């Protein structure tokens, strides 16, 4: 099970009030007809969950399909960890 993807799908389902079971990685965000307010809530929820900053421009963070979002978030998590590696013994 992909933990990052599961969490992102949870956030999208909750904020856009969509049926969680219907979310598929290849799905386009435009096809889900997510309202702008909900999209802002989703990005805020993702930032909060993973403690990252999601850039606004599409070149740095593609927002076409759900798998784009998942891979973008994974990349941001990896960048963050590389910038401040966990200290030994830290939780």
Partner 1 sequence: MNSSNGLRVVVTGIGSISPLGHNAVDFWDALSNGRSGIGTTTCVDPALLNIKICAEVKNYDPLTHFSDRELLLLDRFSQFALIAAKEAIADSGLDFRSDLGIETACITGTGAGGFITLDESFEKMYRQKAQRIHPMTIPKQMVSAATSQITMKHGIRGPSYSVSSACSSANHAIGDAYWMIRAGRARAAVTGGSEASLTLGAIRAWESVRVMAPDTCRPFTKNRKGMVLGEGAGIVVLEELEHAKKRGARIYAEVCGFGMSADAGDIVVPSEDGAAAAMRQAIKTSGLNADQFDYINAHGTGTGANDGCETRAIKKAFGEHARKLAISSTKSMHGHALGGAGAIEMVGVVKAVAEGVMPPTANYDVPDPECDLDYVPNTARRKPIHGALSNSFAFGGLNAVVALKKFS
- Which residues contact partner 1 by CB under 8 A? 37, 40-41, 43-44, 47-48, 51, 53
CA angle 31, 73, 6 (to 5 degrees): 70
- Which residue, 41 or 67, has its beta carbon nearer to partner 1? 41
Least distance in Å: CB of 44 to partner 1?
Answer: 5
- Which residue, 9 or 15, has its beta carbon nearer to partner 1? 15
> What's the DSSP call for residue 58?
T
Least distance in Å: CB of 53 to partner 1?
Answer: 8
Nearest alpha carbon to residue 32 among 46, 47, 44, 15: 15
């Amino acid at each position: 099970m992909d933990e990052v993807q599961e969490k992102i799908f949870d956030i999208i389902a909750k904020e856009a009030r969509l049926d969680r079971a219907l979310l598929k990685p290849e799905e386009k965000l435009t096809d889900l007809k997510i309202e702008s307010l909900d999209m802002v809530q989703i990005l805020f929820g993702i930032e909060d969950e993973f403690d990252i900053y999601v850039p606004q421009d599409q070149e740095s963070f593609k927002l076409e399909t759900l798998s784009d979002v998942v891979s973008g978030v994974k990349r941001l998590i990896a960048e963050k960890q590389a910038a401040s590696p966990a200290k030994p013994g830290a939780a």
